[in-house]
Chains A and B, each alone.
Chain A
Amino acid sequence: MLEVLKIVAYTILICIPAAVLLYLTFKTDDRRYLFIAVAFYVVFPVVVTISFPTSLSPESITLYEAVDALPDSSTVLLTFDYYASTLAETEPMSRAALHHLFKKDCRVLTVTTIPLGGPTISERVTRDLAEEYDKVYGLDFVNLGYKANYVAVLKGMGSSISAIYPADNSGTPLSEIPMMADIKNYDDIDFIYVVADNGIVEYWISIVQSQYQAQVGCGVTAVMAPKIYAYVSSGQMTGLLGGMKGAAEYEKMVGHPGSATQGMGAQSMAHLFIIVSVISGNLMFFIDRKRGRKRKLS
């Protein structure tokens, strides 16, 4: 009941500024009023903390259960295939994944196919979490960093990781890293956890999963998620986290609510505003059609 009251309160909150700004948009045909409204609905829930219970989708449960079913001390390859631009959606996924993996004492190997920022992000996030769980670099986790040409890298690692990455991100030869002694190729990796914001995720399926039978699960941006459904259903992808909502679901499952959970309020408000603006846009469309007027936003 409390939740319903919350919704009613927020709906009223949405309605007043939305009505004013949409009226101004119609009046002036200036899309900047729409932009102000979107900014308001994204910032407002961040200033006034709004939280709602996050329900779990079957796809994220599948991913969580697949990772959870791995024996302790398994080797997991975690990828940081995203640019800094999508950090809000993707970094919470990486963090939640690392919470889960370090809790299970898994050995974590990280790679990135992103030249600008990929290695920096992976270093920052893994070292942050490793400190929390007292994990030692070289024994519990290794950052391999970036190598050019992802297709060649993904395929090459199937034969020999050290041939593609002779040294780790900081230049230490792999032969001198204890954890890498028994990790030669995908055969020695129990699970591949891809976090990506671009088409690379499909190469993890077509090259790594299909040709090397590696078990691959992924977290992707919301806009990419609909495409990945096809691979989850065919069994080629073991679970899926879609956008910030997926990240919030994983945070909930591992018991570490983070920035994705906090972001749900802003996302809820923005979505609702867009729905309201689409409905009002349609109303105006019908009114304009009756009046024989064509409008173009400037």
Chain B
Amino acid sequence: MTFVVILLYKGVIIPQRQLFRFLIIIIGLILLAAPILSADSLDVATDSVQDVAGQIITDSVETTTSTEEVAEDSGWGYRTERNNALFLMVLFSVVILVYTRWAKQGKELFLRKINGLDEVEEAVGRATEMGRPVLFVPGLQELDEIETIAAISILGRVARITARYDTPLMVPVRYPLVLAAGQEVVQQAYIEEGKPDAYNVDMVRYVAGEQFAFTATVNGYMMRERPATNIFMGAFFAESLLLAETGNAAGSIQIAGTAQPSQLPFFIAACDYTLMGEELYAASAYLSREPLLLGGLKGQDFIKILLIAAILIGVLIVSLDIEAIAELYKSLFVSV
């Protein structure tokens, strides 16, 4: 794999400009070819099964069962029972890529106002005026969580603003990988704002691996340093209220964002602005206004409309008690 990466990077296999297009085409071809190839080998294998059994399978139910059994025996090992997932994945990818392309071509894409994100710059400005720091907590999950990656993206934007205004920034993290990513992103932001000397490696610091040891440290920091602005973005759990209530008691402006529904009520009760669910994922696109990222957002909305339609159709079918269609329709969405 490392060898392939080097060859691809050096442009030996394909020019670098065309790299992703090439990779996507290859992967797409594999995915498209797999079911077809499996279907061919499936027929051959079905015949052989029937020969061995010495009987002709006529019953449709039995045919289905044997097809499933044989599908597992096909040379490619393609799992035909996951066709629905493949279809949804391809559809989702195509829609996102189409919207991204449109965005790239300069098509105007409407994005509704997200108050919490609009307030970020103002909140950092307030911290600058008061001469107090900005606290950014990128959640309490590992870097392989998309929520944490979204939080790190937002951190990059926040760090640019703090760099611009020369506002102290403090980013406590719970996982070492988040530490490495956070330091990288903040350093890059300070370089891009032309203030590499203002960057301090300890702006992003590993605090503790344990949830409440982490919370105790951050709460202590909030009470001692009294940051003017607290930004909580990412995955939070039981500590959400402890953090937000302490920040509230310290008199900070608080902006929170999480995709954890169970923690939303706590943030809403104790913070000034709260990003709910997917608003967190939209944040990097919203703050950067980069057409490429905005395209992804619009694609996501389109898929959501399709899903809402699918749910409504399902509700209708079940309500009208059309059993035959209901089972068929349900099978389209069953994950295996």
State if A and B touch, Cβ cutoff 8 Å.
yes
Interface residues of A (CB under 8 A from B): 83, 85-86, 115-116, 149, 151, 197-199, 210-211, 213, 221, 223-224, 226-227, 297-298
Q: Assess the B144–A85 pair: CB atoms within 8 A.
A: no
Assess A224 versus B262: contact at CB under 8 Å? Given A86-B238, A298-B249.
Answer: yes
SS class, residues of chain B in contact with chain A? loop
- The answer to whether B209 touches A116, judged by C-beta atoms less than 8 angstroms apart, is yes
How far is B144's CA from A151's CA once the two chains are assembled, in angstroms?
A: 8
CB within 8 Å for A213 and B238 given contacts A149-B144, A151-B144, A227-B261: no
Q: How far is the CB of B139 from chain A (nearest CB, A)?
A: 10
A223 — which chain B residues lie within 8 A by C-beta? 238, 262-263
A152's closest neighbor in chain B, by CB? B144
Are the C-beta atoms of A83 and B210 separated by less than 8 Å? yes
Residues of chain A within 8 A of B144, CB atoms compared: 149, 151
Residues of chain A within 8 A (CB-CB) of B142 are 149
Interface footprint category on B: 10 to 19
Contact residues in B for A227 (Cβ distance below 8 Å): 260-262
Docked pose: A227 CA to B261 CA in angstroms? 7
- List B residues at the A interface (Cβ < 8 Å): 141-142, 144, 209-212, 235, 237-238, 249, 260-263, 335-336
Q: How far is the CB of B256 from chain A (nearest CB, A)?
A: 16
- The answer to whether A221 and B238 touch across the interface, beta carbons within 8 angstroms, is yes
A to B CB contacts below 8 Å, 21 in the list: A83-B211, A85-B210, A85-B238, A86-B238, A116-B209, A149-B142, A149-B144, A197-B237, A198-B211, A198-B237, A199-B141, A199-B235, A211-B336, A213-B336, A221-B238, A223-B238, A223-B262, A223-B263, A224-B262, A226-B262, A227-B262
- Complex CA gap A298/B209 in Å reads 31
Contact B238 A197 (CB under 8 A): yes
What 7 pairs between A and B have smallest CB-CB spacing? A210-B335, A85-B212, A227-B262, A116-B210, A223-B262, A198-B237, A227-B261
With A197-B238, A198-B211, A227-B260 already in contact, 8 other A-B pairs whose C-beta atoms are closer than 8 Å: A85-B211, A115-B209, A116-B210, A149-B144, A151-B144, A199-B141, A224-B262, A226-B262
Query: Which B residue's beta carbon lies closest to that of A213?
Result: B336
Given contacts A223-B238, A298-B249, is CB(A199)–CB(B260) below 8 Å?
yes
Distance between Cα atoms of A79 and B190 in the complex (Å): 44
Give complex CA distance A86, B256 in Å.
24
Give the chain A neighbours of B262 by CB distance below 8 A.
Answer: 223-224, 226-227
B213 to chain A: closest residue by CB:
A116
B263 to chain A, nearest CB (A): 8
Nearest-neighbour CB distance to chain B for A235, whole angstroms, equals: 10
The smallest beta-carbon distance between B245 and chain A, in angstroms, is 9
In the complex, which residue of chain A has the Cβ closest to the Cβ of B211?
A83
Q: Is the CB of B209 within 8 A of A199?
A: no
- The interface residues of chain A lying within 8 Å CB-to-CB of B235 are 199
CA A83 to CA B214, docked complex, whole Å = 13
Chain B residues with Cβ under 8 A from A199's Cβ?
141, 235, 237, 260
Task: Return B143 CB to nearest CB of chain A, in Å.
Answer: 10
**CA of A115 to CA of B176, assembled, Å:** 13
Closest CB of chain B to A52's CB: distance in Å?
A: 26
Q: In the complex, A86 Cα to B263 Cα: how many Å?
A: 16
Closest residue on chain A to residue B245 by CB atoms: A31
Find chain B residues with CB under 8 A from A221 CB: 238
| Closest Cβ neighbor of B141 among chain A residues | A199
In the bound complex, how far is the Cα of B208 from the Cα of A85, in angstroms?
14
How close is B327's CB to chain A, nearest CB, in angstroms? 15
What is the minimal beta-carbon distance from A34 to any residue of chain B, in angstroms?
Answer: 12
CB-CB under 8 A from A116, the residues of chain B are 209-210
Chain A residues with CB below 8 A from B141, complex form: 199
Q: How many Å lie between the Cα of A261 and that of B122 in the bound state?
A: 50
Least distance between A237 CB and chain B CB atoms (Å): 14
Q: How far is the CB of A152 from chain B (nearest CB, A)?
A: 8
The smallest beta-carbon distance between A295 and chain B, in angstroms, is: 14
Once the chains are docked, how many angstroms separate the CA of A227 from the CA of B262? 7
